[in-house]
Amino acid sequence: MTELTELPRLRVKWLRGSQNINYSRPSTFFSLGTRGSGKSSLLEAIAARYIKVIDLFGSKDSECLAWCKPESPFKKILFITGRNVTVASKWPTVCVDRLTLEDFEQNQIITTTYAFYNTTHEYFEGLQKITSLLWDQRTYWNEPWFILIREAANMIYARLQIVKDSDQAKADFIQMLREARHSGLAVGVDTIRWTNIDKEVRDVADYTFIKKTGAIGLPKDLRFIYRYVQPDSLMKMEPQNFVLLTIEGNLAMGKFDYPSWHKEERENILFKLDIDIERLGVEKEQGYNVSILEHVKIAESYKATMSMGKTAKQLNRAKSTVCEQIKLHNANINESGFCLECHKANNPIEKELLVRKGRGSLNDSC
């Protein structure tokens, strides 16, 4: 386990009762709050206290890959990919079809992201395979592993791919949370949804962290907290703060240090970590054998220089290749409203036409 001195600090002041947060047990942690309230970063700070983190069910911006940043205390990291997808990076990969429990045992961080699959269906199908392996085959354990579920709805949707019934998928999700401790799995769940499934999740949570509520306020079953914490304080809470309610009914105010490795909102994590993705067998009109990451590098370099020649020299590519990629970028935007390749890499210029001022057509500059 990583030394606690290397991890973001969590500090609490008890308002009712008191107890220690037990990281040696497969507990369930629930983080509730509005967008931008610090739910995900708080769960990362908690997850880092476990010997192993399995980061699943994230958003399309690949925030789960932030564990790979130099600031992260974890170095043994494994990527799970979909079939017919090659991920080129400094970290090892395994196809979800060949995944075994031994792959989990040999690494500290195991993660997967939407960008590692050809389609949304394959992504959710892969998530279902991963969770089934962990819940069904890990029949004994010495130390708990932490499963990070960044959005509860994604886990429910993954289950829906199998059972084809939304009510059953929700019921299965609750059952998985209840059964996780038998497989030695601590679970961290965050969501912005306040109704339906959330009440049932809170009922099985050992620790419920309440973040900024905004104008929505607390759900009915948690409004007793207003006797201890002012509504305005919860409504406008800073991202580093939280209210903690334990399953034993103890209540605290707390603060945590922002994880230094956490992905920033506009950060292009694939580009920063030099992770390149090739989707084999998927028809792409990219020309000149240019990968997604190379396309992004060309687009960003051309935006900065507005020169085909300078971009080609910087990236050691032919000027004609640079021209083809900028044409592709602009054609995608004119056709679909965004550049597909930049979108896959979460590039902020995915909707930005790259045309030099004073030129009516890109063809004039090629």
Radius of gyration of the chain (CA): 23
Angle formed at CA 154 by CA 153 and CA 160, multiple of 5 degrees: 90
Domain boundaries, the chain: 9-256, 287-365
Give the predicted TM-score (pTM) of the model. Answer: 0.74
The string of pLDDT tens digits covering residues 170-219 is 788 888 888 999 999 999 998 766 555 667 777 889 999 999 988 888 88
Q: Tens digits of per-residue pLDDT, 281-312?
A: 544 444 446 778 888 889 999 999 999 999 98
Encode pLDDT of 123-134 as tens digits. 888 988 999 899
Assign 355 to helix, strand or coil. coil
So what's the pLDDT on residue 333? 83
Its CATH class, for the domain covering 9-256, is: alpha beta
pLDDT of res. 359: 53
Taking 80 as the threshold, does the pLDDT of residue 154 lie above it? no
Distance CA 246, CA 230 (A): 19
78-94 pLDDT tens trace: 999 998 899 999 999 99
User: Most distant CA pair in the chain: distance in Å?
Assistant: 73
Contact 28, 205 (CB under 8 A): yes
Beta bridge partners of 252: 14, 244
pLDDT band of residue 58 (cuts 50, 70, 90) is: confident
- pLDDT the model gives residue 139: 87
- Which pLDDT belongs to residue 20? 92
Q: Hey, what amino acid is at 207?
A: Y
Pairing label, strands 241-246, 53-56: unpaired
